[in-house]
A and B are shown apart, each in its own frame.
Chain A
Amino acid sequence: MRHIISVLMENEPGALSRVVGLFSQRNFNIETLNVAPTDDPTLSRLTLTTFGSDQVVEQITKQLNKLIDVVKLVDLTEGQHIEREMMLVKVRASGAQRAEVKRTVDIFRGNIIDMTPSIYTVQVVGESDKLDGFLLALGGTHVLEVVRTGVSGIARGEKTLSL
């Protein structure tokens, strides 16, 4: 099953490599990963998605918790949560395709954020499935480049992951 693990960790050099190293060292898999400082400059927030049985995910969270740089973590998929991923897609769009791509972008509530006479750069935000769907919907369009941020997530309602 897919899990989204959100980690609050010390904003220190080396902290990220400890987290990532743990995954390769213990043969856990990382599907997506993103990390950035938070409103508290001493803390970074890292979100990763992984696939594994309950036993494997239990080990992942326990081993992550053992890292001295990890302050707190939560498996967002254990409760109600919101997740988002952002994607930038550069597509060849000329002639009749220009209007077709524009329509698809609108349907997916994306934005064209840059253009040349032959190229659109599109921004799409949503759950990962929606991003996958957008790429499928582009169909025969010539996709030049795809950049995805990986998943970010937050628990719904009162629950927070903070100090």
Chain B
Amino acid sequence: MDLLSGGEMIARFLKDEGVEYIYGYPGGAALHIYDALHRQNDVKHVLVRHEQAATHMADGYARATGKPGVVLVTSGPGATNTVTGIATAFMDSIPMVVICGQVMSYLIGEDAFQETDMIGVSRPIVKHSFTVKHPADIPMILKKAFHIASTGRPGPVVVDIPKDMTMPNEKYEYKYPESVSLRSYNPPAKGHSGQIKKAVDLLIAAKRPMIYAGGGVIMGGGADLLTKLAQQLGYPVTNTLMGLGGYPATDDQFVGMLGMHGSYEANMAMHHSDLILAVGARFDDRVTNDPDKFCPGAKIIHIDIDPASISKTIRADVPIVGPVRQVLEEMLTVIDEAPARSNKEAIGNWWKQINEWRKVHGGRYDTTSDKIKPQAAVEACWRATNGDAFVASDVGQHQMFTAQYYKFAKPYRWINSGGLGTMGFGLPAAMGVKMNMPEETVVCVTGEGSIQMNIQELSTCLQYGLPVKILCLNNGYLGMVRQWQDMNYEGRHSNSYMDSLPDFKMLMQAYRHEYVEIRTKDELDSKMAEAFAMKDKLVFINCFVDPEEHVYPMQVPRGAMRDMFLSKTERT
């Protein structure tokens, strides 16, 4: 057994836990830990330019791999700067461990320099948090933190470490804890078999079924099984914003995303369905629209690992609490053994109806306009990347256009802040993916508003050679804000216009990155190809798109799933 200081234990534990990269920023209370990191070569630290970006980098990595991302920051401002990133991860159930320095334990509560009650500040946005009270506890606390962050419904965990817990000269025995048990934390390991049978009976008998799959399918590693189940049954599938890629968007059984900016056919099919199989989704307000008007004729089967997600907003008829993989596996077995097969005639009619709905809107947009439509830019990006890139997005219209028009065929490739809607997420998230998957094409789709919220990270990209591609759909407005102002505030564009944008070309020169500009629609494909051909360079693609464009369909506020605006002049 080795004798290690608290700081050394942290470094050693991360190595033993299999962590390759951590993202962070040093400062007084974390200096012992940073010194320990300096004296080893196993765990690599990535120095960001702002702590928020460290959390988004860790988050992007976690979303692309399903493994927890790790952040290291100092106390006070270092810790509070991570709050937005922790909340982002919390809302989307992303595994993350945030290690924060803290002032000396004997100074806590005295308003010491750079002291913040980080446990208190982060309490509503973490799955759990720990304060280290003795250096010898560090390995077990970190083990618990990783365990809690990555099992059950994943989420961020904060570990607050007072500086005197990491003193270089105070050494304790270190042993990597191989296992961990918590008497008050036992995530469900298996769905109830009786409920699964009941669900399969309903599925087989359904006449107008819908499979509604969310981010839980991806984080639960169940995308392949969900695809198998859907194809075995031949039922239509819709994904939430978080669930995109959980079923291949290129497949005919996929009817698009659902919800506020969901496809016409997905929302219509949901509204008229008689059975909804919800998998790893949480019926959030951007999906259901008015919950009282939600899918009036549908029975609901709800599979989720978090019992609190079930019947929170929409009552489930058949709740199944369990890991998505295990439940889907058992469902497939039960379907195999079931005497009856699905109702071919009813399902045939259902598809006929859905295909009629597909013709109504079908993701159309104005292709005759002289201006570059943002939808066309996303489609060009899809072509340039063979539909196979990891795409991180910021928040706003560009995010919705990407969700609608970049047809994700695989899980883990769509990296976006769905629940919190964090502008500034895209670039650092893309960096986190690229850092860990250097061979993959990684795109950040953003807007000229969002990109400026973490633009300082261009410097980090230079330092670590992170050749992500930034596709900026530049419309000169905070597009989604402007859209709402057009629709709800008679076009009064209060503060949704940003004067004095930086000269992005000069900015890229300053950071020694590449710059490509797209001003006309006929150069979309060629310029996009030019940008993506620069494999080893960060390229900022400044694509000037139509500022007037709105995202459609858009659900009518407080309506049912089927109530939508289809364009500036049409509604259902």
User: Which residues of A are found within 8 Å of B123, using beta-carbon distances?
Assistant: 17-18, 21
Chain A 38-75 against B: per-residue CB contact (8 Å), 1 yes, 0 no? 00000000000000000100110011011011111000
| A163 to B311 CA separation, bound complex (whole angstroms) | 28
Give bound CA distance, A44 to B124, whole Å.
Answer: 21
- For A9, give the chain B residue with the smallest CB separation: B184
Contact in complex: B308, A25 (CB < 8 Å): no
Whether B184 and A10, one on each chain, are in contact in the complex, defined by CB atoms closer than 8 angstroms, is yes
In residues 87-123 of chain A, which contact B (Cβ within 8 Å)?
none
A68 and B308 contacting across the interface, CB-CB below 8 Å: no
Range of interface residues on chain A?
20 to 34
Q: Which residue of B lies closest to A66 (CB)?
A: B308
Task: Select one of A21, A55, A58, A69 contacting B184, CB under 8 A.
Answer: A69
| Contact residues of B between 310 and 334, Cβ < 8 Å to A | 311-312, 315
| Residue B224, interface by CB 8 Å | no
In the complex with contacts A14-B131, A59-B312, A65-B183 CB distance below 8 A = no
> Which chain B residues (33-76) contact chain A, with CB distance < 8 Å?
none
Q: Evaluate whether A62 and B307 lie within 8 angstroms (CB atoms) in the complex, with A68-B185, A71-B183 already known.
A: yes
- Contact of A59 with B124 in the complex, beta carbons under 8 Å: no
B127 touches A163 (CB 8 A): no
Given A59-B308, A68-B148: A21 and B124 interface contact (C-beta under 8 Å): yes
In the complex, B120 has a CB within 8 A of chain A: yes
Contacts of B119 in A (CB 8 A): 14
Shortest B125–chain A CB gap in Å is: 9
Asked whether any CB of chain A lies closer than 8 Å to the CB of B306, the reply is yes
A69 to B148, CA, bound (A): 12
B182 within 8 A of A: yes
Q: Which residues of A contact B148 (CB under 8 A)?
A: 68
Closest B residue to A25 using CB positions = B124
Chain B residue nearest to A8 in the complex (CB):
B184
Residues on the A chain within 8 Å of B315, using CB: 55
A72 closest partner in B (C-beta): B184
| Assembled-state Cα–Cα distance A13/B105 (Å) | 14
C-alpha spacing A63/B307, complex, angstroms: 9
Question: Please, how many angstroms separate the alpha-carbon atoms of A9 and B315 in the complex?
Answer: 29
Please name all residues of chain B whose beta carbon is closer than 8 Å to the beta carbon of A21 when the two chains form the complex: 123-124
Cα separation A58 to B311 with both chains bound (whole Å)? 9
Chain A positions within 8 Å of B183 at CB level? 71, 163
Provided the pairs A55-B311, A62-B307, A63-B308 are in contact, do residues A68 and B184 lie with their beta carbons within 8 angstroms? yes
Contact A68 B128, beta carbon cutoff 8 Å:
yes
Pairwise interchain contact A68-B127, C-beta atoms closer than 8 A: yes
A72 to B186, CA, bound (A): 12
Question: Which residues from chain B contact A55 at a C-beta distance below 8 Å?
Answer: 311, 315
Q: How far is the CB of B412 from chain A (nearest CB, A)?
A: 26
The number of chain B residues with a CB under 8 A from chain A is 19
CA distance A25 to B120 in the complex (A): 13
Q: How far is the CA of A13 from the CA of B307 in the complex (A)?
A: 26
Q: How far is the CB of B478 from chain A (nearest CB, A)?
A: 29
Closest beta carbon of chain B to A75's beta carbon, Å: 15
Which residue of chain A is the closest to B119 with respect to CB atoms?
A14
Contacts of B128 in A (CB 8 A): 68
Instruction: Determine if B307 and A65 form an interchain contact, defined as CB atoms under 8 angstroms apart.
Output: yes
**Contact of A62 with B184 at beta-carbon distance under 8 Å, contacts A18-B123, A25-B124, A68-B127 already known:** no
A94 to B127 CA separation, bound complex (whole angstroms) = 57
- Which chain A residues border B307 with CB–CB below 8 Å? 62, 65
A25 vs B148: C-alpha distance when bound (angstroms): 21
Find residues 125-163 in chain A having any chain B CB closer than 8 Å to their own CB: 163
Within the complex, what minimum Cβ distance (angstroms) separates B227 from chain A?
30
CB distance from B171 to the nearest CB of A (A): 26
Docked pose: A59 CA to B183 CA in angstroms: 22
Residues of B within 8 A of A63 (CB): 308
A62 and B124 contact, CB distance less than 8 A? no
Chain B residues positioned under 8 Å from A68 (CB to CB) = 127-128, 148, 182, 184-185
Q: How far is the CA of A58 from the CA of B183 in the complex (A)?
A: 22
Q: Mark B379-395, 1 if CB is under 8 A from A, else 0.
A: 00000000000000000
- Minimum Cβ distance to chain B for residue A43 (Å): 10
Write out, one digit per residue, whether chain B residues 119-149 have a CB within 8 A of any chain A CB (1) or not (0): 1100110011101000000000000000010
Q: Which residue of chain A has its CB nearest to the CB of B155?
A: A66
Max chain A C-beta neighbours (<10 A), residue from B119, B127, B306, B308: B308
Contacts of A58 in B (CB 8 A): 311
Residue on A with the closest CB to B120? Answer: A17
Query: Which residue from chain B places its CB closest to the CB of A63 in the assembled complex?
Result: B308
State how many angstroms separate the Cβ of B120 from the closest Cβ of chain A: 7
For the complex formed, measure the closest distance between the CB of B158 and the CB atoms of chain A, giving whole angstroms. 11
User: With the chains together, A55 CA to B129 CA distance in Å?
Assistant: 28
Are the CB atoms of A71 and B131 closer together than 8 Å? no
Most A-side CB within 10 Å, residue of B128, B182, B184: B184
Q: Return chain A residues, CB-CB under 8 Å to B131.
A: 13-14
Contact B308 A71 (CB under 8 A): no
Q: Which residues of B contact A69 (CB under 8 A)?
A: 184
The answer to whether A71 and B184 touch across the interface, beta carbons within 8 angstroms, is yes
User: Using Cβ atoms and an 8 Å threshold, which residues of chain B touch A65?
Assistant: 307-308
Residue of A at shortest CB range from B152? A66
Q: List 13 A-B contacts (CB under 8 A).
A: A13-B131, A14-B131, A17-B120, A18-B123, A55-B311, A59-B308, A62-B308, A63-B308, A65-B308, A68-B184, A69-B184, A71-B184, A72-B184
Chain A interface residues (CB < 8 Å from chain B): 9-10, 13-14, 17-18, 21, 25, 55, 58-59, 62-63, 65-66, 68-72, 163
8 nearest A-B pairs in the assembled complex, by CB-CB distance: A62-B308, A71-B184, A68-B128, A25-B124, A68-B185, A21-B123, A62-B307, A63-B308
A10-B184, A21-B123 given; name 19 further pairs at CB < 8 Å. A14-B119, A14-B131, A21-B124, A25-B124, A55-B311, A55-B315, A58-B311, A62-B307, A62-B308, A63-B308, A65-B307, A66-B306, A68-B128, A68-B148, A68-B184, A68-B185, A70-B184, A72-B184, A163-B183
